[in-house]
Amino acid sequence: MSWAVGYDSRWGRDIGYGVPATCDHPGCGAAIDRGLAYVCAGSEPYGGEDGCGLYFCGEHMLIGGGVRQKCVRCEAGKPPYDPTPDTAEWIAWKLGDESWQPWRDENPEAVAAMRGRRRRMGGRLRR
């Protein structure tokens, strides 16, 4: 099984090492991917039982008890941060790449929402 691209229904977004992303720590902006190396409660899909399932750069990830990597909030037992939105790169890929055409055909509401986000970003989508 590949973890290149999957879907996290808890957070309502694509995940996997094939999904370019931004660190979920507020205001960070570091470029990462949504692969297992960056997930809170590392190497556990969706964060396992101990993590929030959000994705963080090395600056915002702690090694909790020397075993699992966790974000600051989970380590302190606090509620998770709000997830960051998809990157312009990922939106452009999903809206334009032929491999996503079946998904676009089956999900017209999601496509409309993504196009709206693209317009709000000022059309600054690059691939």
**pLDDT per residue over 31-90, tens digit each?**
999 998 899 986 777 888 888 999 999 899 877 555 568 898 988 899 999 999 999 999
Do 42 and 71 meet the contact criterion of CB atoms below 8 Å apart?
A: no
Distances (CA, A) of 44 to 10, 11, 41, 69, 126: 15, 15, 6, 10, 31
Alpha carbon distance 74, 26 (integer Å): 15
Residue (of 62, 124, 66) closest to 92 by Cα position: 124
- pTM listed for this prediction: 0.86
Alpha carbon distance 7, 75 (integer Å): 25
Q: What are the φ/ψ torsions at residue 63 (nearest 5 degrees)? A: -95, 100
